[in-house]
Structure 1
Amino acid sequence: MYGRILVPIDGSAGSSRGLDAAIDIARSTHGLLRLVHVLDDLSLPRRLADTDTWLDALRHGGQQILEAARTAAEARGIRADAVLYGDLTTPLCEAIATEARMWPAELIVLGSHGRRGGGRVMIGSDAERILRSSTIPVVLVPAPTKRTGDERISTRTKAVAPALLIGQKYRRQMDA
């Protein structure tokens, strides 16, 4: 159950928190992670979109983000592979849906940026689209808070286990 976990990452604190949760889930299910980084047309100013050097730099940065995430997962004993969507033509939610279908993933773990107001409209809409369009379970991990380290660890550990059980129950109902 949940042996193939798709994890969109962008290098933000929110996606790092999503990666941590995905690693915890993979550890309990003996799962494999597929890390995905998507360059979209919001990754660079429109006037620079045709600049090969700038695009190469973005792709290189995306590869570094993926490698850091893979290293973090493997350091905790979790196998992970990585995919970069670097053509700027595939919207984030479409890339995630395609990768989830083609791999095929059994769960998507998505870190939230935790933005509010105007920023939430643009960034939050991707998470909402993924949640609404996914045919597999999605775990949305909230953005980091300003609590102490011990409180964060305690809260996350307490939240992941029940959420995983609920997800497994839901999956059994869907498979029946």
Structure 2
Amino acid sequence: MGKILVPIDGSPNSVRGLEKAIELARKTDSSITLLHVAMLPPIHVVGHPLDKVKRSLAKKAHKFIKDAEDRCINENIQSTTKLIYGSDPPYDIEQFARKYKHDMIVIGAKGKSTLKRLFLGSVSNYLVQTTKTPVTVIK
């Protein structure tokens, strides 16, 4: 298969997505890219310099990113990790998958943004509807 993109946000559903991706990677001799999109607040809301906001977001994500990396290492799956900053995770994930030519996206059915999902639809639904990259949604 090649390259599997796994968006992670620390939620139990993103962990289930990672577990399935590890299983698929093992069966197909593929590598995994762990992707976290840190949501930047609108500039007018931020009372701190942007680099300070980014450091804070990275610090908050460090534990679950490290846990995801350790899962891959423990399963002898080649992986890379990417932390990007954005304002629209579904779009950012789609663009990342396209730019780096991933063969598949494996994503948990629901992440942390329940309120946003209620009004805008889920990240996984957006990806299934818009990306040309095959998407496997794990419930």
Kept after mapping to 2: 8 A contact 1:63/1:84? no
TM-score (norm 1): 0.67
TM-score (norm 2): 0.83
Describe how 1:93-172 pairs up with structure 2 within 5 A: 93-113=90-110, 120-122=117-119, 124-142=121-139
Q: What is the CA–CA distance in structure 2 between the aligned matches of 1:107 and 1:64, rounded to whole Å?
A: 25
User: 1:73 is matched with which residue?
Assistant: 72
Q: What is the CA–CA distance in structure 1 between the aligned matches of 2:115 and 2:56, rounded to whole Å?
A: 28
CA deviation profile, 1:119-160 (whole Å, cap 9, x unmatched): 642474322111111102100001xxxxxxxxxxxxxxxxxx
Which amino acid in 2 is paired with 1:38? Answer: V
Matched position secondary structure for 1:81: strand
Superposed CA RMSD in Å reads: 2.5
Greater strand proportion: 2
- Unpaired segments of 5 or more residues in structure 1? 143-176
Q: What is the CA–CA distance in structure 1 between the aligned matches of 2:53 and 2:84, rounded to whole Å?
A: 16
Greater helix proportion: 1
Query: Based on CA coordinates, which of the two structures has the bigger radius of gyration?
Result: 1
Q: What is the CA–CA distance in structure 1 between the aligned matches of 2:111 and 2:37, rounded to whole Å?
A: 19
Kept after mapping to 2: 8 A contact 1:5/1:31? yes
Question: What is the count of residue pairs matched by the alignment?
Answer: 135
Matched position secondary structure for 1:140: strand
Kept after mapping to 1: 8 A contact 2:98/2:133? no
- Unpaired segments of 5 or more residues in structure 2? none
Kept after mapping to 1: 8 A contact 2:4/2:103? yes
CA deviation after TM superposition for structure 1 residue 103, in Å:
1.5
Which structure exhibits the higher relative contact order, with contacts defined as CA atoms closer than 8 Å and separated by 6 or more residues? 2
State the identity %: 27
